[in-house]
Amino acid sequence: MYDIKKLDDYLNRLFEEKKYPSVAICVRGPEGIIFEQGYGYSDSEKQRPAGSNTVYGIASMSKSMTTLACAILEAEGKLSFSDPVTKYFPKFSIPGTPAESVTLRHLAMHTAGIPPIPPLEWSIVMNTPGRDTQSSEALKASAPNKMDKIEDIIDYIAHSWEYEPLGAPGEYMSYSNDAYALLSYVVDQAAGITLEKFLQERIFKPLGMTRSVLDLDGKEAIALSEGDIADLFDLDDDGNLYSDQAWSVLPPYRGCACVKSTANDITKYYQMLSQNGVFEGKQIIDPKAVEILIGREFPETPYPFYCFGLNKRIKNGKVICEHSGGLHGVSTQGGLIIGGYSMTALCNQGDVSMEPFLWPCYNLVLGLPLDTSHTFAIPSGNKFSMPEAVTGTYISREAVPAYCIVTADDEGNLFARYYDEDLVLHHCEETLFSARAADNPDEQRTTMRFLIRNGKAWGVRCYTRIFQRVNK
């Protein structure tokens, strides 16, 4: 039914082109594992071939596990996504926003109004040994404390003068790791046990995810890996590839990014969600919880819509739910197709995209050519009619301040300097653009949707994060 050799050849060519240290792939269907393969070596000495049972970090793919825990607890009557955040954290507030108006739903959907802010990056550099790059040193110098407690995040959100809220709760979506840090501790309170224990007892163990764990520093992952765990690769300040075993340690952000797992295990998890909580004929999770997580409340369109920890979209008539992840030495992408299909791509080099590896896995199941793109930002070939409305400088304060500088030439063509990379903006529709590498117009680097008020953009959503205009 499936041309596995064709997929393997396609992925192998892609891997050789990208030259990453390793990538592990697994595709699962109702009949079991359809495809599993590792490419490259998981260690710097090239002694350990990567495979679907190699342990990798999964970074932000952890988020849906945290919200699934919340959904299970809601189905059991132990919390509600409509609860105000102050029920669990009385000192929580966002400047200028009525405290009781921010709910767990807003946290889960990244719509609380919190823009990109630096506490997560501070937490990493202040708590991870050996982070001594130029950018890390700059972050350490700006950190107000070790940012190792949830109270530190709550205090920053409530009292910092460095950021301006995006809008009222529910008004704008902008990806917020800080929101998911809070949800991690909500689970602790509502469940009466730690999130770590909850995931192990209620999700990992029932699914047979024996090589999965939520731990802060990787020690538990190393212990259960039986030696088959990926080294972590990244580029240094000079652009040279290096490796270490220094997992990012970010204590308050446990449920955001700290699960370690395998391609095989993660496809078990996603397949269970794709089958309304059933895995291998057993009801593992209450179907009410799955409905809460990704169900009919959320729209089904070609454009990704962020539910509770997963993006939901339609492709070729099928519902796909997915998420990516990234940290030092970690780049991941995984998802499901409703009806029993799941797929995962894990890599041990940081800051690279796994979409090119995951899309052909979707396409195999969907019966599409393997090279079919899944981007929703399709250039229209037309110029944007209001270039003067969007030109300017926009800022994200998630780490060392990052800028998106948008300019236009005399003919109305738009360009952006984004994270020190030159991009060309191709108009798609309304205020949506496909931002592509200036030296490679076929390579989309991000999407940009400008947010216009009174004839002028006050912000731009770069993929999922809103950068705010400087000097409005």
Give percent of the chain with pLDDT exceeding 70.
100
Position 412 scores a pLDDT of 95
- Which contiguous run of DSSP H or E holds residue 448? strand 440-453
pLDDT category, 400, cuts 50, 70, 90?
confident
Burial class (CB in 10 A: 0-12, 13-18, 19+), 203: buried
Is 37:30 a contact under the CB 8 Å cutoff? no
Residue tagged 């590792």 (tokens): 38
φ and ψ at 388, to 5 degrees? -65, -20
pLDDT category, 275, cuts 50, 70, 90?
very high
Position 257 scores a pLDDT of 97
Position 7 scores a pLDDT of 99
Rounded to 5°, the CA angle 82-88-94 comes to 80
- Which contiguous run of DSSP H or E holds residue 14? helix 4-18
Report the range of poorest mean pLDDT among 11-20, 188-197, 434-443: 434-443
For every residue of 417-434, DSSP letters joined together read EETTEEEEEEEEETTEEE
Residue 441 in this model has a pLDDT that exceeds 90 = no
What tens digit of pLDDT does each residue of 331-374 get?
A: 999 999 999 999 999 999 999 999 999 999 999 999 999 999 99
Q: What mean pLDDT is predicted for residues 256-263?
A: 98
Residue 472 in this model has a pLDDT that exceeds 70 = no
Rounded to 5°, the CA angle 411-417-422 comes to 80
The whole-angstrom separation of Cα 327 and Cα 247 is: 9
Position 43 scores a pLDDT of 93
Is 249:243 a contact under the CB 8 Å cutoff? no
Q: What is the set of domains in the chain, with CATH numbers?
A: 54-261+273-341+348-370 (3.40.710.10), 387-469 (2.40.128)
Tokens at 124, concatenated: 């990493």
Instruction: Using alpha carbons, select from 141, 118, 37, 103 the residue that is nearest to residue 399.
Output: 118
What tens digit of pLDDT does each residue of 23-78 get?
A: 999 999 999 999 999 999 999 999 999 999 999 999 999 999 999 999 999 999 99
